[in-house]
Copies of this chain bind each other. A is one copy, B any other.
Amino acid sequence: MKSESPPSIVILAGGQGTRFWPLSRKDKPKQFHSLFDKSESLIQGTFRRVRSLAGSDQNCIVVTNNAQSPLVKEHLPSAKVIHEPVGKNTAPSIGLAALYIEKKDPRGVMVVLPADQVVANDAELIRCLSKAVTLAKSSDSLVTIGVTPTSAHTGYGYIKRGLSIGNQCFAISRFYEKPNVERAAQYLESGDYYWNSGMFVWRVDVLLQAIREYLPALWNGLQEIKPHIGSAKEPQILQEIFPQLESISIDIGVLEHARNCIVVEADSLGWSDVGSWDSWAEKQPADKNSNVLLGDVLAFDTQNCVVRSPHRLTAIIGVEDLIVVDSGDALLICPRDRLQDIKRIVDELQKSDREDLI
């Protein structure tokens, strides 16, 4: 039976990672940096953790854009690469990947993973994804991996679980966008909520049916592309159709509407979406003053600071709650609670045509 074949892994690697400026740049976004383990980039770590699920590396698909394609080939030479002509949001990326898988196996299972998250417990990840694959094969469900919250994090979307379907799997009652501090605390306390990890598992037929129902314009676009997948005309058709597709996330476009959503509980992944310098720092060893100091750093009377200085000495005195990141050609100095404003820097650099620094 074709549906007994191993799942396809789809790694989404089109993001720019502006929140990791000045390290993350257009020509080398965050997922291609070794933010934790010097031996591998984030995308290599994502691939390494799950490749055993796929059976063959040719079942590992990376969806990226033309600009990042050479980096994907360098970091994951054995993976299959799909090129988007322009970066859209996750719904078009996932829909496009589904067409490739559908061509080989119309009931094939796809495991969708962001390129740039980290997981400490690899075995637990495989256990959760395997369970999700089994569920996706045997039911017409859209399965999400829900991470048991360990803090009232305001940087993640949340999933409220509904009825138990046994074995740490639940129907999904509702998806929630990033909450404020009070709500995040309520979610944590209630015990009924998970962090939305952005890891999804489903059969392509189930996914495409859901896209047809909730995002019909996207479905129509995908139907125009579908006959040309794998043909010589594919790049030209993609170039024509893809830029016109709606830029919308799979969460908002499909999952928040669909009634066949399931969450698989993951309670000891050691997971982070590495969404900011702050969340990166949370995964780093801190000194007795709660500082994360990497590289050549001398700190006096300094608390709860993050200093990343791999290229030169940084000496810091009498400072609290500050993030300092030296990328060699640029330096960021920003309080921990102002990290959302890094985008203003990148926007300003864009406005002033400083392409080399974006």
The residues of A with any CB-CB pair to B shorter than 8 Å are 21-22, 298, 300-301, 309, 312-319, 322, 324, 326, 328-335, 338, 341-342, 344-345, 348-349, 354, 357
What is the CB-to-nearest-CB distance from A313 to chain B, in angstroms, rounded to a whole number? 4
CB-defined contacts of A354 to chain B, threshold 8 Å: 313
Q: Out of B319, B326, B330, B345, which one reaches A322, CB within 8 Å?
A: B319
Q: How far is the CA of A341 from the CA of B338 in the complex (A)?
A: 27
CB-based contact A333/B345 at 8 Å: no
Please name the residue on chain B nearest to A335 by beta carbon. Answer: B318
CB-based contact A349/B319 at 8 Å: no
What is the CB-to-nearest-CB distance from A110 to chain B, in angstroms, rounded to a whole number? 39
CB-based contact B298/A317 at 8 Å: no
CB-defined contacts of A348 to chain B, threshold 8 Å: 298
What is the CB-to-nearest-CB distance from A294 to chain B, in angstroms, rounded to a whole number? 14
Q: How far is the CA of A354 from the CA of B334 in the complex (A)?
A: 28
- Known pairs A313-B354, A322-B333 / 18 extra A-B pairs, C-beta < 8 Å: A21-B315, A298-B349, A300-B341, A301-B341, A309-B331, A312-B328, A315-B332, A315-B334, A315-B345, A316-B334, A317-B342, A317-B344, A318-B338, A319-B333, A319-B334, A326-B331, A331-B331, A333-B333
Please name the residue on chain B nearest to A334 by beta carbon. Answer: B317
CB-defined contacts of A324 to chain B, threshold 8 Å: 333
Q: How far is the CA of A320 from the CA of B55 in the complex (A)?
A: 55
21 A-B residue pairs with Cβ-Cβ distance under 8 Å, sorted by A, are A22-B313, A22-B315, A300-B344, A301-B338, A309-B331, A312-B328, A312-B329, A312-B330, A313-B331, A313-B354, A313-B357, A314-B331, A316-B332, A317-B338, A317-B341, A317-B344, A317-B345, A318-B334, A318-B341, A319-B322, A324-B333
